[in-house]
Amino acid sequence: MNILDSGFAPSEAKIRYLDADYVVVKPGTFVRCAITNAPIPIEDLAYWSVDRQEAYADAQAAFTAYQRSIGEK
């Protein structure tokens, strides 16, 4: 079940991203992709950056963020 389609009022969570895990700082139903701004249901969260403390909707968004970060150096 996708919580964004469940009838509950969605709310944005605040998360601290760790290596291979994360800690929910403020409970919610989703986080936003740093690249696409799309909501990512917490249960579907699979891609994030510990260094940049941001979430990504998919592998392509994570790669785009990586490319942007190496372009900044």
At position 27, the amino acid (one-letter code) is P
Domain, as residue range, for 19: 3-71
Model confidence at 4, pLDDT cuts 50, 70, 90, reads low
The predicted-structure confidence for 24-53, as pLDDT tens digits, reads as follows: 999 999 999 999 999 999 999 999 999 999
**Global pTM value:** 0.83
Query: Which of these, 10, 9, 17, lies nearest to 48 by C-alpha position?
Result: 17
The radius of gyration of the chain's CA atoms, rounded to the nearest angstrom, is 13
Per-residue pLDDT, 7: 61
Name the percent of the chain lying above pLDDT 90.
82
Per-residue pLDDT, 71: 87
Between CA 47 and CA 26 the distance in angstroms is: 19
How many distinct structural domains can be found in the chain?
1
| Residue 52, C-beta contacts closer than 8 angstroms, at least 6 positions apart | 34, 65, 69
At position 41, the amino acid (one-letter code) is P
13 DSSP 8-state letter: -
